[in-house]
Chain A
Amino acid sequence: MTRRRLPEWLVLLLPAIIVIAAVVLIPLLFSLYSSFTPYKLTRPSTLWKWVGTYNYEKILSDAKFWAAFGRTVLFLTIVLNLELLLGLGIALMMNKVTWGQRTLRTILMFPMMFSPILVGFQFKFIFNDNIGLVNNVLQSMGFNAALPWLVDGKLAMFSIMFAEIWMSTSVFAILILAGLFAMPRDPLEAAKVDGCTPWQSFRHITLPFLMPFIYIAMTIRSLDVARAYDIVQIMTGGGPARRTELLWTLMSRTGYVDARMGLANAMGYVSIILSILFTVYFFRKLSAARAELGMAG
């Protein structure tokens, strides 16, 4: 009879699986292993020394790590929420525009095309305490002090968040706008006739309809949260005095500057788990929201 063959779906998926296994899975397994060794790039033999969970114990008892970890979670929470709110606001404003909407929408997509590292440099330039646009404008307006945007811890954190929000709010705005376009008019009109205030009809009709779109945006964003690394690395490098240190900058410093790969990979795993938690969380929300609106494929 016929030879046993792989099912077609597997044949079709195989290239994807192979590539991902080769480029992501194997290195990750390697790094998982090396996170149980005191591996240092400069001394390859250290790769064969098993230290068990020493690295993990070390980072878990390290105040610097916990500070970076806490700051990362805080950073993501603030940034994602602000992006969502701003994106929602922008989308609602754009939806009301009657003239030149296409052009505005195109402009809105600008930041999506910028490389994160470019965004980093751009804002490093703009927030530069000496020649930056912001300080120049402030001084021309009569403020005499040059604000140390990237040198003061709090201001630096603000600048970084600003850059991050500038870069990523568009994703929310664009997707929510698409949701607004796809929204049927009848329920809104019915609500108006039934005497809902604008706020009530937004709260009970528009927002529930937009939820799946918001979750897609969240999911897409959560895949890329670590792009903030590029920005921070360029703008402050985690400084001043580790005031803007995030998990990712700490990891890269430990790995590349201190060459302590084992330790860095242990941190890497913490960051991977963090990313995965975000993604899984929003993926589930997305499926739930889809099912609720009966959009499931």
Chain B
Amino acid sequence: MDRNQAHRNRRRLLKTAHFIGLFLTMLVICVPGLWIVLNSFRPTVEIMAKPPVWVPSFTLDHYRAMFAGAGEGGVPVFSYFRNSLIVSVTSTFIAILIGMSGGYAFARYRFWGKNSYFVGLMLFRAVPGVALSLPLFIVFAKVGIIDTHFGLILAYVAMNVPFTIWLTDGFFRQIPKELHEAAEIDGCTRWQAFWKVEFPVARSGVASAGIFAFLTSWNEFALASQLTRSVGSKTMPVGLLDFTAEFTINWGGMCALAVLMIVPALILTFIVQKHLIAGLTFGGVKG
């Protein structure tokens, strides 16, 4: 009897601890983000108030200022958003094409030194953005593609290709090679067999690779901060710096831009979140 009771108590205790642990974890994860969202709707005086004001009031001032453009000392958010979108989407698209073709080569062909090639490619991804930004800045300046969409797209494609190869390789490897053989016998060329059979089957892997590439480009700062200068090419992460002056920071405005940055990433990730995890694990573990 007693021992049963003891075990029951212990289980109850564990359950409570489990709940508290989860709650705290979620709290720590959510509060910083929510704090940003909340403050984007608070007037600056309230943000700066001392002692703190705990009951928030609501204003759209920061958003209004942000979208009003550069006119009233604001930040040209629209341009930044457009630049970010153009650069991220284009570079993701190209990186997927190139990476998929490379991943396919690794998954389907045997050749000498395959593993070394593979690790070699991954190592290029490991080069820190800051370390790369110094020489890349000089080279791009020489070629004359500094401060252009093209230059940044090129840099992001190179940055995203290795990881895309890693993920798609894992996915193509999951697909039995008999599938494209069957397609070839059914009258396809190799090219048709890929697009009509293997690509649709590997779709979710490609989708997850796409998300990762997009997020990387969308969020990247170290390279963008050096390779872009003007309103015509600066991306949002770089644009965030516009809210900082020598000694002061426009917190409210920055929070508003931050929200604008996170929302597309959030939406996109929700759409394909199932594939995201599958992509990572298949690509990595079984590949």
Chain A residues packing against B (C-beta within 8 Å)? 7-10, 12-13, 15-16, 19-20, 22-28, 30-31, 34, 41, 89-90, 93-94, 96-97, 104, 106-118, 121-126, 130-131, 133, 136, 139-140, 166, 170, 174-175, 178-179, 182, 212-213, 216, 219-220, 222-223, 225-227, 229-230, 248, 251-252, 255-256, 261, 264-265, 268-269, 271-272, 275-276, 278-280, 283, 286, 290, 295, 297
Contacts and interface: CB of A to CB of B under 8 A. Distances in A.
Given A93-B22, A230-B222, A276-B126, A166 B99 contact: no
B28 interface: yes
A113 B135 CA distance: 28
A178 B161 CA distance: 24
B161 A20 contact: yes
15 contacts: A13-B106, A23-B155, A41-B138, A110-B33, A113-B262, A122-B35, A216-B281, A216-B284, A223-B163, A226-B129, A226-B222, A229-B222, A256-B226, A272-B127, A280-B123
A121 B258 contact: yes
B98 interface: yes
Given A110-B29, A139-B51, A23 B221 contact: no
A178 B52 contact: no
B6 to A, nearest CB: 15
Given A27-B135, A30-B138, A229-B222, A13 B105 contact: yes
Contact of B139 (A27, A90, A139, A297): A27
Contacts of A279: 122-123, 126
Contact of B265 (A8, A113, A121): A113
Given A133-B35, A229-B130, A265-B134, A113 B18 contact: no
B200 interface: no
A115 B121 contact: no
B41 interface: no
Contact of A109 (B49, B117, B128, B273): B273
- Shortest beta-carbon contacts, A-B, top 5: A226-B128, A115-B219, A23-B158, A31-B135, A268-B131
B218 interface: yes
A20 B126 CA distance: 12
Contacts of A94: 22
Interface residues of B, number: 92
Contacts of A226: 128-131, 222
B119 interface: yes
Interface in B15-35: 18, 21-22, 25-26, 28-33, 35
Contacts of B237: 115, 117-118
A117 B257 CA distance: 12
A15 B215 contact: no
Contacts of B55: none
A272 B131 contact: yes
Nearest to A41: B138
Nearest to B48: A131
Contact of B165 (A16, A34, A179, A272): A16
A9 to B, nearest CB: 4
B285 interface: yes
B251 interface: yes
Interface string B89-129: 00000000111011011101101000001010111111111
Interface of B: 18, 21-22, 25-26, 28-33, 35-36, 39, 47-52, 54, 97-99, 101-102, 104-106, 108-109, 111, 117, 119, 121-136, 138-139, 154-155, 157-159, 161-163, 165, 170, 173, 215, 218-222, 226, 237, 240, 249, 251, 254-255, 258, 261-262, 265-266, 269-270, 273, 276-277, 280-281, 284-287
A40 B220 CA distance: 26
B127 A28 contact: yes
Contacts of A96: 18
Given A13-B105, A19-B98, A279-B126, A117 B18 contact: no
Contacts of A268: 128, 130-132, 134-135
Contacts of A248: 128, 130-131
Nearest to A89: B21
A23 B25 contact: no
A112 B219 CA distance: 10
A126 B135 contact: no
A131 B52 contact: yes
A13 B215 contact: no
Given A104-B26, A268-B128, 17 more contacts: A9-B108, A12-B109, A27-B138, A34-B135, A97-B22, A115-B237, A116-B219, A118-B262, A131-B48, A166-B29, A178-B277, A225-B128, A251-B130, A268-B135, A276-B123, A283-B122, A297-B173
Contact of A297 (B49, B102, B269, B287): B287
Nearest to B114: A9
Contact of B286 (A113, A220, A265, A295): A295
B33 A16 contact: no
B98 A15 contact: yes
B154 A23 contact: yes
